[in-house]
Structure 1
Amino acid sequence: FTSGRNKGLGGMAQRAGLINSIRAQEEHVLLLDAGDIFQGTPYFNFYGGELEFKLMSEMKYDAATLGNHDFDNGLEGLAKQLPHANFPFLIANYDFTDTILKDKFKPFKVFNKGGIKIGVFGIGIELDGLVPKNLYGNTIYQDPIEKANHYASLLKKKEKCDLVICLSHLGLKYKTNEMSDMIFASQTHDIDLIIGGHTHTFLKKPVSTLNLDKKEVLINQVGWAGINLGKMDFHFSRNGGVKKVLSSSIFVKNNTKNA
């Protein structure tokens, strides 16, 4: 998984080679991104996000969520580039009904990998005060806790998912009581893993906290600029329960043999 400006030190070609090598070794892989695909580099300034979406499509990303920088060229700029993305953007708490982006996004998606059902949904950060109003227009921000509990419950109970993942752009934690992944995890049900972005936090391994049911929620984030690729291996028992979790943060520049 990745988050926070998918260009920079790591490089797209190097990341593609690393992803290909992982897929050659592992049969059941999900490739996810936690937002801020758009962010100010010469590539974005010139191509407006087209290059990033095309390269991520070439790498066969399975899903991504939206970060605040994905509004840098406004709703029209994002709408213009969406056809270049051959993967879904998942966002459960932005209401685009009264915008050009109406019906362009889904709140969640269910993946089946080797008989294991994995539910993925996206949660975005409050745009007001972070993004100029003219760039997000009539997008309505909805309560992340309320939306997360609704969709996580739906995925776990109705869809019978063995694993529920939230792609979050709330940020890991803050000195204030501002909504963050740590607070979010503690106030929700049914989420097993939060893949985070926004705060550009480099975690060597996931952190964890307890949810409302006193069950462990793993939270991971691997910085920004494509420097690291996060890898988490979930091993399941025959009855579908999680048996073991292994995680690593891979420095892309050191793993470029197949690029």
Structure 2
Amino acid sequence: MKRRDFIQKTAASSALIGLTGFSLSSFKSEDVKHITILHTNDVHSYIDPFPADHPRNPNMGGVARRASLIEEIRKENPNVVVLDAGDIFQGTPYFNYYGGELEFKLMNMMGYETATLGNHDFDNGIDGLLAQMPNAKFDFVSSNYDFKNTVLDGHVKPYKITTVDGIKIGVFGLGIELEGLVDKKNYKETVYNNPIEVATDMARILKQEKKCDLVICLSHIGFKYKEDPNKVCDIILAKQTKDIDLIIGGHTHTFLDKPVIEKNLDGKEVLINQVGCYGLNLGRIDFYMTSDKQIASKGKSIIV
């Protein structure tokens, strides 16, 4: 679907059916607040578009196009939050040369607000990651990595709360187990905690204690694993927790045309989305919230 077609279709809010099963057509437009979540994952330092002769992705992707698309969407709806689900680093010579500085500065220009950490974000070690963090004007969140005995202690938050047009949004992050995936010398004394247990606690704090209207998990644990159906992943996370409205995933490079919906422990619907890798797609989730905090939503991956 072309980006213009997508924007026109998502603007037709009367056709949206909410997570709670109501239709927005029964509400006056002034009674509904519209929040747009834009997201990426596993960009892996892909700054330029793919070359014209690339066999799979000719002329696709690139930061300039993504920036243009984000700007276009902001003109349509100023209530935009831009998020990333990890593996910002590693994949092109830009990372080898600049060590992540360029990636972070370009994300600043596009208005990213929050990101979580993927396993490849440790590729220059936690010292290398810390050295680049001053270049990021956005926040890093990770709830299940305990950095207290490392140089990253205090530089990564367990969660972040922001208010957009009166809507309180809580964002927390989850990372994959680093042992066996990342060289120990790169993550040092970082402690990995169980994502399901941590997410249960984080979602409760954000939804019930902090009274967030939307709770979003930036997950770098993977969408699902066919070879190991019991391995912790976004699908299992959605089913075994509650109070999470949206899981933005990463790690498995899963291309979803639109969000997958799963039922949580309370039988409520949870959106799960992931947009592949290399900046080829931009995820878009539109939330429409009524004055009594009922939610309708629509999501799509947009080709960059």
Q: Deviations over 1:73-112 (max 9, x none)?
A: 1111101100000000010000111111111111111111
Distance 2:239 2:168 in 1: 24
Secondary structure of 1:112's aligned partner? strand
Structure 1 match to 2:101 = 50
Counterpart residue type for residue 303 of structure 2: F
1:102 and 2:140 are equivalent in the alignment: no
Secondary structure of 1:204's aligned partner? coil
Q: Structure 2: give runs of 5+ residues left out of the alignment.
A: 1-38, 51-60
Counterpart residue type for residue 232 of structure 1: I
Structure 2 match to 1:224 = 277
1:196 and 2:249 are equivalent in the alignment: yes
Distance 2:73 2:275 in 1: 17
Structure 2 match to 1:71 = 122
Q: Following TM superposition, by how much is the alpha carbon of 1:40 offset from its aligned partner in structure 2, in angstroms? A: 2.2
Structure 2 match to 1:185 = 238
Identical pairs, percent: 59
1:91 and 2:142 are equivalent in the alignment: yes
Which of the residues 128, 133, 137 maps onto 1:82?
A: 133
1:210 and 2:246 are equivalent in the alignment: no
Structure 2 match to 1:4 = 42
Secondary structure of 2:139's aligned partner? coil
Distance 2:166 2:225 in 1: 38
1:26 and 2:64 are equivalent in the alignment: no
Secondary structure of 2:170's aligned partner? strand
Q: Following TM superposition, by how much is the alpha carbon of 1:201 offset from its aligned partner in structure 2, in angstroms? A: 0.5
Distance 1:132 1:210 in 2: 36
Distance 1:172 1:232 in 2: 17
Counterpart residue type for residue 169 of structure 1: H
Q: Deviations over 1:200-256 (max 9, x none)?
A: 0000011111111121111000100000001110011121120x211121111xxxx
Counterpart residue type for residue 69 of structure 1: H
Structure 2 match to 1:245 = 297
Q: Structure 1: give runs of 5+ residues left out of the alignment.
A: 253-259
Distance 1:68 1:11 in 2: 22
Give matches, 1:144-155, under 5 Å. Answer: 144-155=195-206
TM-score of the two chains, using structure 2 as the length reference: 0.81
Distance 2:263 2:143 in 1: 22
Secondary structure of 1:217's aligned partner? strand
Counterpart residue type for residue 104 of structure 1: H
Distance 2:140 2:150 in 1: 16
Structure 2 match to 1:257 = none
Q: Deviations over 1:125-154 (max 9, x none)?
A: 000011111111110001111111111101
Distance 1:133 1:40 in 2: 20
Structure 2 match to 1:124 = 175
The root-mean-square deviation of aligned C-alpha atoms, in Å, is 0.9
Q: Following TM superposition, by how much is the alpha carbon of 1:124 offset from its aligned partner in structure 2, in angstroms? A: 0.5
**Alignment check: 8 A CA contact 1:4 1:35 kept:** yes
Q: Following TM superposition, by how much is the alpha carbon of 1:53 offset from its aligned partner in structure 2, in angstroms? A: 0.4
**Alignment check: 8 A CA contact 1:162 1:241 kept:** no
Counterpart residue type for residue 182 of structure 1: I
Which of the residues 86, 91, 95 maps onto 1:40?
A: 91
> Which aligned segments of 4 or more residues in structure 1 are displaced greater than 4 angstroms?
none
Secondary structure of 1:30's aligned partner? strand
The structure number with the bigger radius of gyration is 2
Distance 2:297 2:238 in 1: 18
Distance 2:162 2:152 in 1: 24
Counterpart residue type for residue 105 of structure 1: V
Secondary structure of 1:225's aligned partner? coil
- Equivalent residues, number: 251
